[in-house]
Amino acid sequence: MGIVNTEIKQKTIEKPVSLTGVGLHTGKNVTLTFKPAPANFGLVFKRIDLEGEPVIEADANYVTNTQRGTCLEKNGVVIQTSEHVLAALVGLDIDNAIIELNESEPPIMDGSAKFFVASLEKAGSVDLDAYREEYVVNEIVSYKDEKSGSEILVMPSTEYQITTMVDFGTKVLGTQNATLDHISDFKKDISDARTFSFLHEIEMLLEHGLIKGGDLNNAIVYVDKALSKETMEKLRVAFKKDSIAVKPNGILDNLTLHYPNEAARHKLLDVLGDLALVGTRIRGKVIANKPGHFVNTEFAKKLSKLIKNERRNNVPCIDLNQEPLMDVNQIMAMLPHRQPFLLIDKVFELTDSHVVGMKNVTMNESFFKGHFPGAPVMPGVLIVEAMAQTGGILVLNTVPDPENYLTFFMKMDNVKFKRKVVPGDTLIFKCSLITPIRRGICHMQGYAYANGKLCAEAELMAQISKVK
């Protein structure tokens, strides 16, 4: 596995856009407004009908209920059936957006993501000054719900792909498959696939006072049992229709399937929306057998935890015996630092967006003479300084005459020290751009690893200035 900074810019929408409708389960009229958001903001719901306009991030750890859709809850504030909206955002390649609601539930519209896609396309998209992160899958990760037999896994692939296999053991629906090989095909192939239910589920939901906003235009109803006159009458009243009938293909009337495998396509739509709760783009192929919101979101939680651990322990895979990209003499030709304050020995990787450097910590370091001589520990501020010098290589590499520039700290944020560094340790530093370099200003995320374990991290900002 690995977290990588891609060369792809993050995106948000260009302008706000709204649409209105009815919540499927609440039956209440609701207005949803998509609004632009800054880089690294993510996808966030906002309840403007509540005091303080609280927000709920699209995060798998906030999932509280998956009975009839994916429900998020934070500090007592709820968002119901989030999956179709999130699928539309991911399907249109949007990384950052605010989703404002004046009720707890987005409008169901026609039961698909088609209307959300149309609104987002109307809003347009813009690139932001930050690169997208991706979670690169290098080995299979899976989750199985033993109770239902549902299973979902992700395996290595060159891009994000999803395959769903649906089998509910009913003759009317049968076995169906659907595949999305390219996210760019979401609008064309998946976005208009509508939600579906079986007749026995509809009867239960009606008895419990749910699907108040449901009608035959926003859900495919598969008739999996004999229809009595009494049931027909209940459905006619519930759906406010003059009459109800079953079509030859086994679904209630007033609706024509868009695809023979529309159910499998909608399950794929749900998987895409639920896995948006991972919070990081996935570079891998997802295969879901009999997916549902429970198994989807449990898998999203598992991936989210793996990614969090990966981000903390994403040790660069470096062969320390290989020929370095830059040795200490080449480093001194670029950096103005000299002993005893030159704190990096080698550079192994250098691209437009990241750099990897190394330092061997020896007992001969000058700071050990005064920093706990009886139990020598490298000062944390010097670990951050060494990290910054590594980042200095990254920013100085953008000018043709780096020897004529100096690098100055502007800001340090979120500095954390995880473990002590002592003589004999080998420090590996990795600095990756958070935003593209502008006017000599470098904003980067830095990590320091001692003997393969994270020992420090910091968000750094530095600027190069030409020597007068």
Which CATH fold would you assign to the domain 328-466? Thiol Ester Dehydrase; Chain A (3.10.129)
Per-residue pLDDT of the chain (468 residues; tens, 9 = 90+): 577 778 899 999 999 999 999 987 777 899 999 999 999 999 999 999 999 999 999 999 999 999 889 999 999 999 999 999 999 999 999 999 999 999 999 999 989 999 999 999 999 999 998 889 899 999 999 999 999 899 999 999 999 999 999 987 677 677 899 999 999 999 999 999 998 877 777 777 667 666 555 555 667 787 777 777 777 777 777 777 777 777 777 777 657 889 999 999 999 999 999 999 999 999 999 999 999 999 999 999 999 999 988 877 777 878 888 899 999 999 999 998 898 999 999 999 998 888 999 999 999 999 998 888 889 999 999 999 999 999 999 989 888 888 888 888 889 999 999 999 999 999 999 998 888 888 888 899 999 999 888 899 999 998 888 886
Question: Domain ranges in the chain?
Answer: 9-194+258-312, 328-466
Which residue, 122, 279, 120, 113, is CA-closest to 190?
A: 113
User: Is the distance from CB of 187 to CB of 92 less than 8 angstroms?
Assistant: yes
Q: Which CATH architecture has domain 9-194+258-312?
A: 2-Layer Sandwich (3.30)
404 vs 412: CA distance, rounded Å: 25
327 vs 334: CA distance, rounded Å: 11
Task: Say whether 371 is catalytic.
Answer: yes
Amino acid (1-letter code) at residue 394: L
Q: In this structure, are strands 55-57 and 63-65 parallel, antiparallel, or unpaired?
A: unpaired
Q: Which residue has the tokens 């958001």?
A: 37
Catalytic residue among 25, 266, 293, 354: 293
Amino acid (1-letter code) at residue 404: N
429 vs 413: CA distance, rounded Å: 17
Q: What pTM, to 2 d.p., does this model score?
A: 0.74
Task: Say whether 293 is catalytic.
Answer: yes
User: Is the distance from CB of 20 to CB of 32 less than 8 angstroms?
Assistant: yes
